[in-house]
Structure formats: C-alpha cells, structure tokens
Amino acid sequence: MIAASAIDYRELARRRLPHFLFEYIDGGSYAQVTLRRNVEDLEHVELRQRVLSGVDAVDLTTSLFGQPMALPVGLAPIGLGGLAARRGERQAVRAAERAGIPFTLSTVSACALEEVAEAAAKPFWFQLYMIRDRAFMRDLLARARAIGCSALIFTVDMPLPGSRYRDQRSGLAGAPGFRGGLRRTLQGAVKPGWAWDVGIHGRPHSLGNLLPVLGRNSGIEDYFAWMRDNFDPSVTWKDLDFIRSEWTGPLIIKGILDAEDAHEAAALGADGLVVSNHGGRQLDGVPSTARALPAIADAVGDRLTVLADGGIRSGLDVVRMLALGAKGVLLGRTWIYAMAARGEAGIDHVLKLIDAEMRVAMTLCGAASIADIGRDNLVTL
C-alpha cells in the first residue's frame, strides 16, 4: 500500500503493530463518541475559497514561546510511543528537528529524558502529569531542566485514566501477570516486522522516566497500574502554583475545553494552553476541540498562546484549526501512525504532506502567511 495521505498510515500501522498496541494508539474511551467528533467536526469546518488573490508564495514559518518554527505544528506527547518503532521517541525527536518543529516527550515514554536528549541536537518539550509524589515531580522537572527542555506541557485532564474498552479487550489492560504477558507476546509474534524491530532490538520495554521509582516493575504491564495509583484526582488550580514555582520556562496547560478553565490558566500565569480532550481518550461525550476552540481563543487569546489538538489528519485540518483561533497545533495519532509504519521516515513524509497541503489551502484561501489566517477564511463556524 502506498501512503498518499497522512491517514493512509493508519492502515499501515494496523498491519504492522501487535493488536494490543494498535488498539491502544487508535482507541478512545467508552463508545468513542468524542474521538469520532474530533475528526468529523473538523472535517465539516468550511474554508472560504478566494481566487485570483495574487498569492504566489506562501510562508509557513511562525514562532511559539520564543522558538522559531518551520510549520505551526508540533508533535504531541504520546505515552508508550517508543514501542511503536525501535526506541521510537529517539526517532521522533530527530524527525521533528529535521522538519524544524518541536517534539514533546511524555512522562510515560519508553525512552527516558536523557536517552532522547542524546539523540537530539536541539532542546525539545517535556510533558508532565500531576503525580501524588511531589518529590518525584520535582526530580522530573529538575531532569528536564538539566537537559535543556525548552517548554513544559502540563496535562490537567487526566486525574485518573479514562475507561478504554478497547485496551481491555486487546489484553493491554485488565489482564495482569502471566496471562496478559502471554497474550501480548502471541500478538507480537504474528507481526514479525515489529517483533524483530521492537520486540527484540527495541529493548528495554520499560517506562524510562519512571525507572527511579518503579525499578524492575516498569514494563507495559505496570503502565495502567502506575497511572491508577499515582495520578492525583484531588488536585486543584492552587496546586499548580507548585509547578509554576519549579519551572521557570514556558508553561503550557494541556486539556482545556471550557472558557472558564482557560481564564484560570491565564490567571495562573501560564504562557499557553492546549485546547484538547486528550484525543477522545478521557471523558467521552465532551465537545470536539474544533467546537471548543473558538470560544476559548476569544476568551484568552490576547493573554496567552492558544494551541489545539485532536482530529488533525491533514494540512487542511491545520489551516482549519488556525482559522478557528489556534496559533499552532499538536499532532498525535498522525505522527504515531506514520512512525509505526515506517519509523522516522514515515514522520518525515507526513510532515512534508502537511506542508504541501497547507500551501494549497492557504493559496486558495488568499492567505500568504500564518498571520493571515483567521475567521475571515471560514464560511461558517
């Protein structure tokens, strides 16, 4: 199969990955209503075509949080992302650097901060959750500062894991011990390409950033148990003062869907926020990010930098999100599908596709630069 678009990589990833890993990457929570809405609502945003507008050159460059970028796009944090390809986060950070965009490392990545830093030539972003053990959080932030991470994305919409039925059915969650391990091993064995690349040569299969607290108990089977036991549902906005006191660089709050919460993020002194529903993986039935974004951008867009994720599958979708009020977007499933299929070369290809698709969309909308994109480029909201 030839990948002509970013979404083509979904099928290639499905063919290559063990069932449990594809279901984890591809799935949402409950009945996956919000997961579907993220894609469908964005697809229904109509761009306003303007012809003979004299746009003979398009400039896709921008700057976010003091960092120049070749595209208004970043790679979102994905837990266990490093298992989609051999030491995957190392591959992803290299691809992001080649494209001139930021990569964000998840707290629950396969590769540790220091390992990814060894593969990177430039600073990358780090993502953190609110964890019960504040001393461990302080240590993670110190490690991120020590290797020069240039921004912190703090995720606030995961006080506890959502109910993801597909992970239960696949054997990733809810099947601990020997039975669960055997089931995953058998699923990996029928995918020889992945088994050779990741199963054998991609070891260790652990949560690299959590090794100091989990030690040997830091494999896939410990992922959900650790989240359930260590995420802190009692956290309030006041608790985020701890983060602001420990992190002096750009702070981006991820998981905002309501304008009142956006005001709270601005009052905290955050530099940015991400309009996000965790890719439809947490509370099902909430608004898509395309629906939530305009009101949030109107409420706080003059006080902090508004980013968005969720449902972005093409350069057209990037332009739609920018027209709805975002200053930049984060790609999630789009990059992990591509890496699962073809490694960092897949990410290279997807980002080139997005670049080309954005140029077509902007030319036909009469926008010569990222700053030119706005509500005037939409037919309806």
User: And the tokens for 320?
Assistant: 């739609």
Annotated binding residue at 312? yes
List the helix and strand counts (H, then E) for the chain.
17, 10
With tokens 């790679």, the residue in question is: 75
Asked if 150 and 125 count as a contact pair (C-beta separation under 8 A), the reply is yes
Annotated binding residue at 278? yes
Annotated binding residue at 309? yes
Annotated binding residue at 336? no
Q: Hey, CA dihedral for 307, 308, 309, 311, is it positive or negative?
A: negative
Q: Hey, CA dihedral for 196, 197, 198, 200, is it positive or negative?
A: positive
Asked if 89 and 117 count as a contact pair (C-beta separation under 8 A), the reply is no
Annotated binding residue at 254? yes
DSSP H stretches of helix in 325-373? 333-342, 344-365
Which run of H or of E encompasses 267? Answer: helix 259-268
Annotated binding residue at 332? yes
Annotated binding residue at 311? yes
Cα distance between residue 183 and residue 20, in whole Å: 9
Annotated binding residue at 223? no
Annotated binding residue at 374? no
Annotated binding residue at 205? no
Annotated binding residue at 79? yes
User: And the tokens for 117?
Assistant: 């830093």
User: And the tokens for 280?
Assistant: 């439809």
C-alpha 61: how far from its chain's center?
20
Annotated binding residue at 193? no
DSSP states along 204-242: --S-GGGHHHHTT--SGGGHHHHHHHHB-TT--GGGHHH
Catalytic residue numbers read 278
Residues whose CB falls within 8 Å of the CB of residue 198, separated by 6 or more in sequence, listed in order: 83, 84, 85, 86
Annotated binding residue at 16? no
Cα distance between residue 108 and residue 18, in whole Å: 19
Which amino acid, residue 286? V
| Nearest residue to 27 via CA among 139, 138, 169, 199 | 169
Annotated binding residue at 106? yes
| Nearest residue to 335 via CA among 312, 316, 358, 355 | 312
Residue 47: strand, helix, or coil: strand
User: And the tokens for 31?
Assistant: 């009945």
| Nearest residue to 45 via CA among 360, 294, 356, 262 | 294
Known binding-site positions: 24, 77-79, 106, 127, 129, 155, 164, 254, 276, 278, 281, 309-313, 332-333
Known binding-site positions for glyoxylate: 24, 129, 164, 278, 281
Known binding-site positions for FMN: 77-79, 106, 127, 155, 254, 276, 309-313, 332-333
